[in-house]
Amino acid sequence: MINTTPDSFSDGGRYDTTENAFRHARQLIDDGVDILDVGGESTRPGSRNVDLDEERERTVPLIKAVRGVSDIPISIDTNKPGVMQQAVEAGATLINSIWALQLENSLEVAAELGVPVCLMHMQGTPETMQKNPSYTDVVAEVMDFLRQRIDVAIKAGIKQSNIIVDPGFGFGKTLQHNLLLLKSLAKFKTLGVPLLVGLSRKRMIGTILDKPVDQRLYGSIATAVIAAMLGADIIRVHDVPQTLDAIAMVNALNETEFE
């Protein structure tokens, strides 16, 4: 994934110019990434909105540049209908919505654009979500929310085959909530659509290992392996070659049958 915001928590804002972000995109493509996620607004806890023009400037030229050299699927991580529209016109092929298309007009625009959408669960907003996350039954509540958003999306005209869901690790969740969700990941397969997870370099890994963001590679790989073994279809990562090796081991195991 590429976050072009100067305050991106996981990349330290290293890809805040189109040129730097493009160089990074090429590296990720060479590394074997399947989908490139491009975002122009930070989603880290406590982050604030950026305005439409700024977000568009951070993402659309990059998508155009990548499209000029590759036909790799590109996901646009945005909640603004205006950015969705221009990103898809520039060549994005998937909309990643941490708001599960709940913000004004985003559902209608996504349906109109006809591309796949990722609907993510979040409690609160990025600005407030880590203040006091609270659930009675985190797994049931996150699953209910995603089930409802799938229904709403289908009613708005988005095909079921174009819907992906994501429990939203770290988005309004304590460490315990994140661990319960990860342990229960296989249950999310009953929603009947592909499952995306993003755990890479997140705070839950830092808390368990007591490590800063730049020392979370092994923890991130471990979570990717756990998620893949429990049925995740798409895994959002920063460290592509390392994670691909780990997932190749999971795939080999899954493909092995007793004779």
Give the chain's end-to-end CA distance (angstroms, integer). 40
Q: Is 11 in the site for ligand 9MG (CB under 6 A)?
A: no
Q: Is 96 in the site for ligand 9MG (CB under 6 A)?
A: yes
Q: Is 98 in the site for ligand 9MG (CB under 6 A)?
A: yes
Stretch that binds ligand 9MG, among 27-35, 60-68, 104-112, 165-173 (CB under 6 A): 165-173
Q: Is 43 in the site for ligand 9MG (CB under 6 A)?
A: yes
Indicate the residue among 90 and 117 with the shorter CB distance to ligand 9MG. 117
Indicate the residue among 66 and 199 with the shorter CB distance to ligand 9MG. 199
Euclidean distance between CA atoms 5 and 166, whole angstroms = 22
Contact between residue 153 and residue 113 where contact means Cβ atoms under 8 Å apart: no
Active site (annotated) includes residue 236: yes
Among the listed residues 113, 196, 224, 237, the single contact to ligand 9MG using CB under 6 A: 196
SS3 assignment, position 195: strand
Active site (annotated) includes residue 131: no
Euclidean distance between CA atoms 129 and 135, whole angstroms = 13
- Name the helix (H) or strand (E) containing 228: helix 217-229
How far does CA 258 lie from the centroid of its chain? 35
Q: Is 165 in the site for ligand 9MG (CB under 6 A)?
A: no
Q: Is 216 in the site for ligand 9MG (CB under 6 A)?
A: no
Q: For 44, left (φ over 0), alpha (ψ -120 to 50), or beta? A: beta
Residues found near ligand 9MG in the complex (CB under 6 A): 39, 43, 77, 96, 98, 118, 120, 166, 168-169, 196, 198, 236
